[in-house]
Amino acid sequence: MPSPDDLSARLIPFLAERGLTVAAAESLTGGELTAELTRVGGASAVVLGGVVVYATELKHTIVGVDADLLAAEGPVHPEVARQLASGVRDALAVSGRAADIGLATTGVAGPDQQGGRPVGTVFVGISTPAGTRAVELALSGTRAEIRRQVVERVLAELAAEVGLDRA
């Protein structure tokens, strides 16, 4: 897998050439994903914004994740990732236009388990007009290593979603 720096540097111009926009809803990555995307020059043409919805309630109030789902399953769940990804597309709409791609991260980076989910349990959400999906990850390492691995995986999933891996 290419380094996140290399992948971001390839993704931003690729998305810009196609007129695609991205919005991110981040929990366990705490803004690291949006920071990585906006590190690249030209990101303002692509990245509409990012929200850190670390508190479970904010996943509902800001991005629109179903409150009953959060109450029943907690924040670390594949459907939460899907709803974060689809919800952030609309939540960060610009001039009435939703983002083309919504990205989301939710999971347990440690040091302790959360809601019965072990450290390293992560769900990444990706939403486009064609559909929304969640990718389950089982990661290991320190808190910082897990968070970095999640950013790397989201970038790889985004690249695959838009066909950069085939370009």
139 within 8 A of 154, measured Cβ to Cβ: no
pLDDT for 165 equals 78
pLDDT for 167 equals 66
Query: Does the pLDDT value for residue 96 go beyond 80?
Result: yes
Provide the 8-state DSSP code for 117.
B
Structural contact between residues 153 and 2, judged by C-beta atoms closer than 8 angstroms: no
Task: Reply yes or no on whether the pLDDT at 3 is more than 90.
Answer: no
Of 97, 92, 76, give the one whose Cα is nearest residue 34: 92
Query: In this model, does residue 18 exceed pLDDT 70?
Result: yes
Mean pLDDT of 11-31: 98
Provide the pLDDT for residue 166.
Answer: 75
Q: Give mean pLDDT, residues 128-154.
A: 98
Name the burial class of residue 16, with classes exposed (0-12), middle (13-18) and buried (19+) by CB atoms within 10 angstroms of its CB: middle
- pTM for the full predicted model: 0.96
pLDDT, averaged across the chain? 96
